[in-house]
Amino acid sequence: MVNLTIDGRAIQSEPGKTLLEVAKEHGIFIPYLCYHPALKPIGSCRICVVEVKPGPPRPLPACATYVAEGQEVVTESPRLRAIRQELMKLVLINHALDCPICDKGGECELQELTHALGVGQVDLEAQPTAPNIDYVSRLIERHPDRCVTCGRCVHICRDHVGAMAINFMHRGYFTELGSGLLPLDCEFCGSCVDICPVGALINKTFKYRARAWEVERAETVCPFCGGGCTYQVHTRDGQVVRVVNEDSVLLCGRGRFGFPVLTAEDRLRTPLIKENGAFREADWEEALDLAARRLKEIIEEKGPGAVYGVGSPRATNEANYLFQKFFRAGLGTNQVDNPARYHYVRALEALAEIFGWPQVEGAEAGPRPREAYASPLTLTEAAKGKGFSFVLGTIEDLPKADLALVVGMDVTPELPPLGWAINEASLKDDFKLIVANPRLTKFDRNAALSLRYAPGSERLLAAGLIKALLTAHPDWTPAIPAQGLEEFKEALKKATVKEMAKKTGVDEALLKEAAELLAQAKAPAIIFGAELLAQDKGGQNALALADLFLLVGQPEAPGSRLYPVAEKANTRGVCEVGVLPDRLPGLQPLTSELAAKIFAPQAPASQPGLTLPEVLDRLEADAEDAPQALYALGGDFLRWLPHRSRTEKVLQKLSFMVVQDAFLTDTAKLADVVLPVAVFVEQEGTFLSSDGRLGVSSRVLSPIGVKPDWQIISELGRRLGFPLKYSGPAAIFQEMAPAMPLWAGAAPRATVPAAGFAAAPAGRFVPFDLDISLPGRRPYVLIVGKSLQHSGSFTTHQPCGTLVVTPGAALELHPEDAAALNLAAGDSAKVISSYGEVTAPVALSADLPPGVVLLAEHFGEPAAHTLTLNSNLVRVSIQKA
Amino acid sequence: MIIPLLKGLATTLRMVFTKPITLQYPEEKRPVYPRFRGHPELVVDDDGERRCVACTLCMVVCPSNAIKQITPAEGEYHEKYPVEFVVDLTRCIFCGFCQEACPKAAIKLNNLYELAQYEKQMLIYDIKRLTQQQSRLRDGDWL
């Protein structure tokens, strides 16, 4: 601890803090303009100057001066006041005094500072400069005439977002915020807008919609990706006008600009019933009665197993929990699954194979939690856990790692917060990044090594790394207690580094270097995403990377963890609350007695249900045990499952289908009853983020005509003769949380499993396949990937703000390929695979290697999965359309 | 007995030849002093445009919550202007705070004082009725 005095007050502080931070903690006011808690000190405005003794005779900026033993700090004196006032006058010299129309008016730090420092008028004059206002850029408007050149936006864009889209132009008095005299062409995350202390950067979707003091604020969790950002949603007159992250300021484009989708014209507002092939609007009673009657008929005729349920990563934990309870307690079957089966569940199963399913001890019922969404289970001192949940990392801890290996994932489109964490880690000197991807991604710039491998060869790459490491270090012992290393080495005997290098297309020396970096790392993290899991051998890919982690992981070091990416807001939650055919809530086995209590008096069936792919296979084969009815909590299977034409054909074989969704998706169009649901701030509940953080969605708007998922499930249950009666989502949470020891200590914004568990991960090496399965003779490899501006299909409905940036999917290909095909940007190209064809506009991208093309999967048109068979990789040929 | 009567008649006679102090209201209207506070209205510039930029400061300062609604919009040249401006004159206390708060001198209290109505609804003014119009009651140097 450091002892110092500020304005005569004796203060103790931790070393390494700045004077400004310490003063703020102790309620001592020091005015500032360029400092922001989310950023490193900038020190450009000098308004926070203080007198420091011992020190130089001139005042020092408090934001960039670190505390030292015996310091005497004076924050207020006539000299300091004169300096601050003079600096403020210089800032205000030509500040555009358009506070009445500036959106920042009322929450402007310059306004507050002018009041605080009592600067009544500016007696200085300067040559006026041209305002150069940028009205042209999309989503963001720039007013350089309001800029105070503090540099916050430049720093957040460079250090945290990693886009480096804006910087200062010119020097001195003529310094101006700019992007090279061109409109902005960045990630459009809008973080610069919210960090701007004045109104120099304006959010176009919020412009002129409300004054700062008119909005009502509520905290909620972002409904888009699996990042689980909690932010404040600002509403006025029952409409969301903007969302702001008041803590770290960082949000991604879809988080910040995606909310207008709530008011989309094509949102469903009344239930629909299909009659003679056409939908008609119905009221809730009629639709629910019909759904219940038809389900009852099918159950009576074919047994309860004939009804199959598909949960949703869009719905809350409470809704998904109730959904699986509907099947387990109501129908007595395990016939539920969720669409993450095609990516995230593969990772879970691979991890479970190596590290085991999570098991915890020492969680017991504690006092009734004060918060509605906090688990009543608390951790005892002896609390410990094992299994794969304890090798999964949190985004917060990632910067503590000293090496991150990112495999097969374009981080920012899949999970923006993970990208920010990598950027934050990259600011450290001792952090190294290895990026392995077939294409160039944003993070290659920060990477110590870039491994450019052939699409679909991820597991070979992992094998190459493992092999190179074991060859260089024959006596390697993993830090995690592991079994089966000898057998594993034996299984990999045939795979040589040279062969792996040849098959993956990565230079052998690079592979060895990467392996050496992994071997040297004190806290290596391994990050992988949906792009690699969505392949037909996605499970094998996950297995390979989990083996690699078992080899090099350092469980004692925070940050040295595995980071499989759960793509949507509740992809991890839907699995953890038990919407799986073979796992109960809390990922407990079907035999768990604790979880069985919640299904009383019905004991959960001991027979695991069918998985979603198995259901589709059986339907296709017209098997005897194929389900007759499907109850989907949401999710557009046609758009997200590979081989669209087959999915469509197979779903048509169902004799009855109920879909709950916010939009009439292509899948919902096949349904017999469509029930519209509340989304985002129209409903209450929790989401579990990709890194296990519990986020609470609060109900701010009253949904018009639609119902929250849990209410619909509960009403259907009542009509089928089993009451699922709850006062609200909080009551559901309080029922499920006691049955899930893995969630002990869970609370809003806290992570599960709680840090209090003494983690004892242990693993067993499991050999994996070493083949590349990318059959066919067509010349190009298509990767069905993610778009930066979209999350699921939700953001593809007007008037979502990010549609301005990315209005549709484009076929991205290398300029050389385009030239060979005689295609130019903007042309439309016909993409043909053995399973279908689509027409898409062409975009050129030098990020892709020649021979590899990319198409985003979010859009209804062109529907990327028309082309695929069982993987997100497919061989295609391309023609000019 | 006759003297008081004659006195009275003399007064009457004198008054017949002096200027009357009453006004023939409503045919004739009493002019008001320049600082008289009538009801608020939106000032129009020479080019016929309202000055208001919908900053809502008047709404914030209004002590009696008479300014009910200001809906801003963005114009062709990115200017901000109100598309709706509602003042409930039944609540207005004619304090003039709005005029004082306005950074654009866009809202002023006029010198109209005839606000009696049979229906309350008539006193809830929308943007059209709030916008300044020429009125015979106003002095030439009103602005």
What CATH number does the domain containing A546 carry? 3.40.228.10
Q: How far A209 CA sits from the closest chain B CA (Å)?
A: 7
pLDDT value at B140 more than 50: no
Query: Which of A99, A133, A208 minimises the CB distance to B73?
Result: A208
Helix A709-719 to helix A284-302 angle (10° resolution) is: 50
Specify the pairing of strand A432-436 against strand A694-697: unpaired
Q: Are residues A277 and A230 in the same domain?
A: no
Tell whether B83 lies on the interface with A, counting CB pairs under 8 A: no
B103 touches chain A (CB under 8 A): yes
B56 and chain A: CB distance < 8 Å anywhere? yes
The pLDDT value recorded for residue B136 is 42
Q: Domain of A793: which CATH number?
A: 2.40.40.20
If you average pLDDT over residues B100-116, what whole number do you get?
90
Kindly state whether residues A142 and A195 are assigned to the same domain.
Answer: yes
Q: Is the per-residue pLDDT at B111 higher than 70?
A: yes
CATH number, domain containing residue A671: 3.40.50.740
Across the interface, do B73 and A209 touch by the CB < 8 Å criterion? no
Supply the range of the domain harboring residue A873.
780-880
CATH class of B32-130: alpha beta
How many domains does one find in chain A? 5
CB contact (8 A) between residue B55 and residue A213: no
Secondary structure (3-state) at B124: strand
Q: Summarize pLDDT for A752-773 with one digit per residue, the tens.
A: 899 889 988 999 999 999 988 7
Pair A479, A427 in one domain: yes
Q: Is pLDDT at B137 greater than 60 in this prediction?
A: no
> Which residue in chain B is spatially nearest to A99 when comparing CA positions?
B55
Strand order in the sheet with A60-61: A9-13, A2-6, A71-74, A49-53, A60-61
For A534-564, what is each residue's pLDDT tens digit?
999 999 999 999 999 999 999 899 899 999 9
A687 and A587 in one domain? yes
**Helix/strand/coil for A404:** strand
Task: Name the β-bridge partners of A482.
Answer: A763
Inter-residue contact A506 to A435 (CB < 8 Å)? no
Residues A153 and A246 in one domain: yes
Residue A604 has pLDDT above 70, yes or no: yes
Question: How confident is the model at residue B23, as a pLDDT?
Answer: 86
Strand partners, A832: A837, A877
Q: Which of B55, B65, B74, B86 to mutate to test the interface with A (most CBs of A within 10 A)?
A: B55
Q: Confirm whether A218 is domain-assigned.
A: yes
Do A99 and B72 count as a contact with CB atoms less than 8 A apart? no
**pLDDT the model gives residue A702:** 85
Q: Nearest C-alpha of chain A: how many angstroms from B139? A: 30
Please tell me which residue, A852 or A603, carries the higher pLDDT value.
A852
The mean pLDDT of A315-343, rounded to a whole number, is 94
Task: Report the length, in residues, of chain A.
Answer: 881
Residues of chain A contacting residue B55, judged by C-beta atoms under 8 Å apart = 99-101, 105, 211
Identify all chain A residues contacting B56, using CB atoms and an 8 Å cutoff: 211, 214
Residue B50 near chain A (CB below 8 Å) = no
User: Which residues have CB under 8 Å from B14's CB, separation 6+?
Assistant: none
In a domain, A521, yes or no: yes
B119 min Cα distance to partner chain A (Å): 28
A750 with A790, same domain? no
Residue B27: pLDDT band (50, 70, 90) is confident
What per-residue confidence (pLDDT) applies to B134? 61
Q: Which residues does A214 contact at the CB level (< 8 Å), separation at least 6?
A: A236, B56
pLDDT in tens, A388-428: 999 999 999 999 999 999 999 999 999 999 999 999 999 99
Q: Does A389 fall in a domain?
A: no
Band of pLDDT at residue A437, cut at 50, 70 and 90? very high
pLDDT digits (tens, 9 = 90+) for A492-503: 988 899 999 999
Which residue in chain B is spatially nearest to A100 when comparing CA positions?
B55
Across the interface, whether the CB atoms of A208 and B53 are under 8 A apart is answered no
pTM score: 0.93
Interface A–B counts its CB contacts (< 8 A) at: 27
Q: Decide if pLDDT at A705 tops 90.
A: no
- DSSP letter assigned to residue A707: B
How high is the pLDDT of residue A835?
A: 93
The answer to whether A621 and A643 are in contact (CB under 8 A) is: no
Give contacts of A100 with chain B, Cβ < 8 Å: 53, 55, 57, 80, 103-104
pLDDT digits (tens, 9 = 90+) for A9-67: 999 999 999 999 999 999 999 999 999 999 999 999 999 999 998 889 999 999 999 99
> Do the chains contact at B103 and A100, CB–CB below 8 Å?
yes
Same domain flag for A586 and A695? yes
Concatenated DSSP letters for A822-846? Answer: T--TT-EEEEEETTEEEEEEEEE-T
pLDDT digits (tens, 9 = 90+) for A107-153: 999 999 999 999 888 888 888 888 889 999 999 999 988 999 999 99
A831 and A854 fall within a common domain: yes
| Nearest chain A CA: its distance from B127 CA (Å) | 18
Cβ–Cβ below 8 Å for B72 and A209: yes
CB interface of A with B, residues 156-215, below 8 Å: 207-209, 211, 213-214
- Domain final residue pick, A235, A263, A291: A263
Q: Are B40 and B107 contacting, i.e. CB atoms less than 8 angstroms apart?
A: yes
Tell whether A442 and A545 lie within a shared domain: yes
Q: CA angle at residue A464 from A462 to A465, to 5 degrees?
A: 65
Residues A520 and A423 in one domain: yes
> Which residue of A101, A133, A214 is in closest CB contact with B80?
A101
| Same-domain check for residues A256 and A333 | no
| Residue B27 near chain A (CB below 8 Å) | no
Diameter over CA atoms, chain B = 84
Boundary residue ending a domain (A205, A235, A263): A263
* A21: CATH: 3.10.20.740
Same domain, A418 and A551: yes
Shortest CB distance from B53 goes to which of A101, A213, A214?
Answer: A101
Does a structural domain hold residue A376? no
Q: Model confidence over A573-583: pLDDT tens digits?
A: 999 999 999 99
Q: Which of A100, A135, A214 sits opposite B53 (nearest CB)?
A: A100
Q: Which residue has the higher pLDDT, A861 or A193?
A: A193
> Are B78 and A105 in contact (CB < 8 Å)?
no
Q: Is residue A387 part of a domain?
A: no
Chain B interface includes A237 (CB < 8 A): no
Q: Which residue in chain A has the smallest CA separation from B55?
A: A100
Query: A-chain residues within 8 Å CB-CB of B73?
Result: 208
* Shortest CA gap B37–chain A (Å): 25
Nearest neighbour of B80 by CB, restricted to A135, A208, A213: A208
The strand ranges marked E within A45-116 are 49-53, 60-61, 71-74
In a domain, A378, yes or no: no
Interchain CB distance below 8 Å, B55 and A105: yes
Q: How confident is the model at residue B143 (pLDDT cuts 50, 70, 90)?
A: very low
pLDDT > 60? residue B141: no
Chain B contact for A274 (CB, 8 A cutoff): no
Dihedral, CA of residue A840, residue A842, residue A848 and residue A852, to nearest 10: 50
> What pLDDT sits at residue A30?
95
Closest A-chain CA to B101: A100
